[in-house]
């Protein structure tokens, strides 16, 4: 069974540009989560989807971040326009009915120059 996959693995962009990160959860998992780790700090929760609905987006830093999950399958996280402080590793996780059993992807390392 395929795990959680994320694309791209790395992205380097200029300040002010737009970047879109993609996450494909484990097949059949209704719950999808985004987390972010800024260098040297803790991994922080961004938001939680149940199918295509946003269940909790309390961790989204500001309105430059837009997450979608059309059709309840894969999810995208768009940053527009990117700022220097957006640099970090963005993790996606998915779970089935038990939300505490989250499976994480390898992360996307975003560098904003």
Partner 1 sequence: AQSVTQLDSQVPVFEEAPVELRCNYSSSVSVYLFWYVQYPNQGLQLLLKYLSGSTLVKGINGFEAEFNKSQTSFHLRKPSVHISDTAEYFCAVTHSYTGNQFYFGTGTSLTVIP
Residues near partner 1, by CB under 8 A = 3-4, 31, 33, 35, 40-45, 48, 55-56, 58-59, 91, 93, 98-100, 102-107
What are the residues whose beta carbons fall under 8 Å from the beta carbon of 76, sequence distance 6 or more?
A: 20, 21, 22, 23, 67, 68, 69
The nearer residue to partner 1, 87 or 102, going by C-beta atoms, is 102
Q: How far is the CB of 59 from partner 1 (least distance, A)?
A: 7
And the tokens for 14?
Answer: 């200029």
Q: How far is the CB of 97 from partner 1 (least distance, A)?
A: 10
The nearer residue to partner 1, 7 or 17, going by C-beta atoms, is 7
Q: How far is the CB of 70 from partner 1 (least distance, A)?
A: 21
Place of tokens 């395929």: 2
SS3 breakdown of the chain: % helix, strand, coil, rounded to 5? 5, 50, 45
Give the whole-angstrom CA distance, residue 73 versus residue 4. 12
The nearer residue to partner 1, 14 or 42, going by C-beta atoms, is 42
């Amino acid at each position: 069974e395929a795990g959680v996959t994320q694309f791209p693995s790395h992205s380097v962009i200029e300040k002010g540009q737009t970047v879109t990160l993609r996450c494909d959860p484990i097949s059949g998992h209704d719950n999808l989560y985004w987390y972010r780790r800024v260098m040297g700090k803790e991994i922080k929760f961004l938001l939680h989807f149940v199918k295509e609905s946003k269940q909790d987006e309390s961790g989204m830093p500001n309105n430059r971040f837009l997450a979608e999950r059309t059709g309840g399958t894969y999810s995208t996280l768009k940053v527009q326009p990117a700022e220097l402080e957006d640099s970090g590793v963005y993790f996606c996780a998915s779970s089935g009915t038990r939300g505490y059993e989250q499976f994480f992807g390898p992360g996307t390392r975003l560098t904003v120059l």
